[in-house]
Chains A and B, each alone.
Chain A
């Protein structure tokens, strides 16, 4: 029997499978399809101080091996989350990771302050491609990334994980900047900016023209980013991006991830995270692995 428990920046999880932010709402809907207590963790839909209506539809376009989305961080705001959604999650045996965003470093800090110690970890989204945060994309500039990290760390009561973007030339330098500013962990990758056009109408499929690509199409990019960021920063990483099988999860961990996120795979298979956990457990069993955490960063890179 493999010990499936892992720990990310001191936050324990009974297994490494995490539902990613934005694909799992606040857990209620998928709890009708499987007991969400089977998962190690859950990143809630991105939250900000006062909520956002999101972008006009259409918000999704199919793509080979995945999809583009332009939801635009629709959320009810932190107060509503604390009142309506967190109590439900607390009836479940699951590590709750609160995903936050803001338009300025101060807004990020305010979000972190409002959440206090109500979640087990904060995941700071500095990488949403659907929102121009005051004209700055924090994740593409190591200095801006460090500024947000510092502002959140100053007020945070729980470990802070910074969510990085693959839409950068040098992800290692952003990862290092976040670490130096006090980040406890990293999560990656967010979506890759993409576009689809209906060739008959010559209209973009998405109302926002462009959107974020997710799903198995981005898996190799995610593995590369996780490997580079984990190696450069030496921080624990929640690896995500196109994971859709137990072998994908093992590969993500071997690349450097301590825990593994699953999102878009849910759209095809609503029980994807539990299937992936079962497949990972079977794989570990076949390979005589005693602790799944031993996989983390075990890549024998050339």
Chain B
């Protein structure tokens, strides 16, 4: 269950071109990785959903890319500013069910933040992270185990993360399950690879939101043959049902 909170900005740091690391003291207690907060940005009618990238001693870590006016305004927040937020919202990644092998985290670009939170709070993870180029890499050094891919080959492997995942599964590495977050094409490709190998897979979906609490039905995605609410039924969905057309 989410709450409305008034937080205080502790710091805003630039991680890469147009990507910021925001720390907000808000009193969230142990929100599960994969859950998100819904931030009010003064002057904008709608709140902005941002996944938790961490939460220690009530200080939430939010890593976001500047896309439009709302995130640009957030990048200009300063320590001491107050932030009106709803959180923590939605369902996080499921806990390990005891299956043999590692949890493989497949992430692309600004999809990395919730996966980092998961990696820092769970044992036995391995992350396959993809970025457009070396200049776009964020958070990679913070994962306990990570392999880097770039679309242009300027750092790490010159391939897409789902292709590396496929290699891993082909080589019969023990993979208990896969958690994925990133651009939709990457999520679809990852889900497809997992389906082929019979590996459980969970994806974090993204949709434009209104209320954020499950009441307005604007944030839906197709799942299990119906439209489900990303804010309340997700944002994490079992890849086996996610995207199944209505």
Q: Judging by beta carbons under 8 Å apart, are A59 and B220 in contact?
A: yes
Q: How far is the CA of A88 from the CA of B3 in the complex (A)?
A: 21
Which residue of chain A has its CB nearest to the CB of B43? A64
Q: How far is the CB of A164 from chain B (nearest CB, A)?
A: 21
The residues of B with any CB-CB pair to A shorter than 8 Å are 1-4, 40, 44-47, 86, 207-222, 226-227, 232, 246
State how many residues of chain A have any CB contact under 8 Å with chain B: 35
Is A60 in contact with B226, judged by CB distance below 8 angstroms?
A: no
> Across the interface, do A32 and B217 meet the contact criterion of CB distance under 8 Å?
no
Which of B2, B215, B222, B246 sits near A266, CB closer than 8 Å? Answer: B215
24 pairs across A/B with beta carbons < 8 Å? A23-B210, A23-B216, A24-B215, A25-B215, A25-B217, A29-B232, A30-B215, A32-B1, A32-B213, A33-B3, A53-B226, A56-B246, A57-B208, A57-B220, A57-B227, A59-B218, A59-B219, A62-B44, A62-B46, A64-B45, A67-B46, A69-B216, A267-B47, A270-B4
- Which residue on B lies nearest to A24, using beta carbons? B215
Contact, CB under 8 Å: A60 / B1 = no
Q: How many angstroms between the C-alpha atoms of A268 and B3 in the bound complex?
A: 14
Q: How many Å from the CB of B137 to the closest CB on chain A? A: 25
Q: Is the interface of B mostly helix, strand, loop or mixed?
A: loop
A137-164 interface mask toward B, CB cutoff 8 Å, 1 = contact, 0 = none?
0000000000000000000000000000
Complex Cα–Cα for A63 and B1 (A): 29
- Cross-chain contact A58 with B215 (CB below 8 angstroms): no
Residue in B closest to A267 when the chains form the complex, CB atoms: B210
> Is A66 in the interface zone, CB < 8 Å from B?
yes
Among B212, B220, B222, max chain A CB count under 10 A is at B220
A221: chain B residues at CB < 8 Å are none
Q: Which of A57, A65, A67, A266 contacts B219 (CB 8 A)?
A: A57
- Report Cα–Cα, A177/B210, bound state, in Å: 35
Residues on B with beta carbons closer than 8 Å to the beta carbon of A61: 208
- A 227-265 to B, binary, CB cutoff 8 A, 1 in contact else 0: 000000000000000000000000000000000000010
Complex Cα distance, B27 from A225, in Å, reads 44
Q: A54-B227, A57-B208, A267-B46 are in contact. Are A25 and B4 (CB under 8 A)?
A: no
